[in-house]
């Protein structure tokens, strides 16, 4: 028969080992990231979707940290569309939300209106998160269509084209 002291020591050793395993598991994370190939496909499909609607736009795709992975600017797209698309993509990736929804929320909620003061945020429609399953791995931002809702439609159409790659 084991003594109570040995049983307590064994239980403490098991708990300590389990606790260290949990701590180690939390210390190292695995994250999905967007490849250059995927980013390029999304940017190209976004510009193509807007071109089909008669809109000359720029599309910027960023990774989960908001860093640019791919940019495409349609012929005749205004030069201002480049920065607008980048800021929309950054905002969407950072907030893990569509910029149109954020804009509408800020218009309805006075406390959320302060989001416009965050450096680099642009609360105009056209930024859409890119999700692999439930995980946001980046975002696409679109600038140049005559309305943020149209920019967003182009981004959503592009993401629909690559949805099989995001599983």
Q: Is the pLDDT of residue 25 over 90?
A: no
CATH superfamily of 36-166: Haem-degrading domain (3.30.450.150)
Q: Which residues is 135 bridged to in the sheet?
A: 132
Tell me the pLDDT band of 26, cut-offs 50, 70 and 90.
confident
Tell me the pLDDT band of 167, cut-offs 50, 70 and 90.
confident
39 burial type by CB count under 10 A (0-12 exposed, 13-18 middle, 19+ buried): buried
Q: Are residues 57 and 44 in contact, defined by beta-carbon separation less than 8 angstroms?
A: no
Q: For residue 141, how many other CB atoms are within 10 A of its CB?
A: 35
Q: How far is CA 61 from CA 9, 45, 50, 75, 165, in A?
A: 55, 11, 15, 18, 15
pTM of structure: 0.83
Can you list the positions of beta strands (E) in the chain?
Answer: 58-63, 68-73, 127-132, 135-143
- The domain ranges of the chain are 1-30, 36-166
């Amino acid at each position: 028969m084991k003594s109570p002291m040995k049983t307590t020591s064994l239980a403490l050793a098991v708990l300590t080992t389990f606790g260290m395993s949990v701590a180690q598991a939390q210390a190292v994370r695995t994250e999905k990231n967007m490849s250059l190939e995927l980013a390029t496909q999304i940017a190209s499909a976004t510009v193509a979707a807007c071109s089909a609607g008669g809109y000359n736009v720029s599309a910027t795709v960023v990774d989960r940290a908001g860093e640019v992975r791919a940019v495409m600017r349609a012929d005749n797209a205004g030069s201002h569309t480049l920065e607008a698309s980048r800021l929309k993509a950054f905002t969407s990736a950072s907030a893990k939300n569509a910029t149109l929804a954020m804009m509408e929320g800020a218009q309805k909620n006075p406390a959320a209106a302060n989001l416009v003061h965050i450096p680099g945020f642009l609360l105009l429609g056209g930024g859409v998160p890119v999700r692999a399953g439930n995980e946001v791995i980046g975002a696409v931002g679109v600038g140049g269509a005559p309305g943020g809702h149209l920019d967003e439609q182009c981004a959503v159409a592009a993401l629909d084209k690559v949805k099989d790659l995001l599983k």
